[in-house]
Amino acid sequence: MTKLDENLFYVGVKHPSLEYFDVIVPTDMGTTYNSYLLRGEKTVLFETVHNDFSEEFIRNIEEICPLSEIDIIVCDHTEPDHSGSLGAVLSKAPNATVYGSAPALKNLKNILNSDFPSVVAKNGLEVDAGGFTLRFLSAPNLHWPDSVFTYVPELKTVFTCDFLGCHYCGELSDGDIEDREKYLAELDRYYKYIFSPFAAAVKKGVEIIRGIAPERVCSSHGPVLCAHIDDVIARYDEKASAAPDPDLASVFYVSCYGYTALMAKALAEGMRDGGKTVQVFDISNTDKATLAQAVSSSSFLAFGSPTLNRDALPPVYEVLSMVSAVADRGKPALIFGSYGWSGEACANLSERAKGLGLKVDEELMKVCFRPADEDLKALREKGRAFVS
Ligand code: FEO
CATH 3.40.50.360 residue spans of the chain: 245-386
**pLDDT at site 22:** 84
Q: How confident is the model at residue 384 (pLDDT cuts 50, 70, 90)?
A: very high
Closest ligand 1 atom, residue 161 Cα: 1
Asked whether the predicted pLDDT for residue 140 surpasses 80, the reply is yes
Contact 305, 318 (CB under 8 A): no
Predicted model pTM: 0.82
Average pLDDT for 261-279 = 98
The domain made up of 2-241 has a fold known as: Metallo-beta-lactamase; Chain A (3.60.15)
Q: How many residues are there in the chain?
A: 388
- Which residue is closest in CA terms to ligand 1's atom 3? 79
Separation between Cα atoms, residue 334 and residue 247, nearest integer Å: 16
Closest ligand 1 atom, residue 194 Cα: 2
Asked whether the predicted pLDDT for residue 98 surpasses 90, the reply is yes
303 C-alpha to ligand 1 centroid (Å): 30
Q: In a 3-state reduction of DSSP, which class is residue 13?
A: strand
Average pLDDT of the residues of the chain:
96
Quick one: what percent of the chain has pLDDT higher than 90? 89
264 C-alpha to ligand 1 centroid (Å): 37
158 C-alpha to ligand 1 centroid (Å): 17
Buried b (16+ CB within 10 A) or exposed e, 320-355: bebbbeebbeebebbbbbbbeeebbbbebbbebbee
Separation between Cα atoms, residue 148 and residue 25, nearest integer Å: 23
Q: In a 3-state reduction of DSSP, which class is residue 36?
A: strand
Buried b (16+ CB within 10 A) or exposed e, 113-126: eeebebeebeeebe
The domain made up of 245-386 has a fold known as: Rossmann fold (3.40.50)
Asked whether the predicted pLDDT for residue 307 surpasses 90, the reply is yes
128 C-alpha to ligand 1 centroid (Å): 27
Average pLDDT for 139-151 = 96
Contact 190, 166 (CB under 8 A): yes
Average pLDDT for 41-54 = 98
231 C-alpha to ligand 1 centroid (Å): 22
**pLDDT at site 235:** 96
- Which residue is closest in CA terms to ligand 1's atom 1? 162
Average pLDDT for 29-45 = 97
List, chain by chain if needed, residues with CB within 6 Å of any ligand 1 atom: 77, 79, 81-82, 143, 162, 220-221
152 C-alpha to ligand 1 centroid (Å): 21
Contact 77, 205 (CB under 8 A): no
Average pLDDT for 112-121 = 97
**pLDDT at site 197:** 82
162 C-alpha to ligand 1 centroid (Å): 5
pLDDT in tens, 352-373: 999 999 999 999 999 999 999 9
Beta bridge partners of 333: 301, 360
79 C-alpha to ligand 1 centroid (Å): 5
132 C-alpha to ligand 1 centroid (Å): 26
CATH 3.60.15.10 residue spans of the chain: 2-241
**pLDDT at site 23:** 81
69 C-alpha to ligand 1 centroid (Å): 27
Separation between Cα atoms, residue 144 and residue 150, nearest integer Å: 16
**pLDDT at site 288:** 83
Asked whether the predicted pLDDT for residue 1 surpasses 80, the reply is no
**pLDDT at site 385:** 98
Closest ligand 1 atom, residue 165 Cα: 1
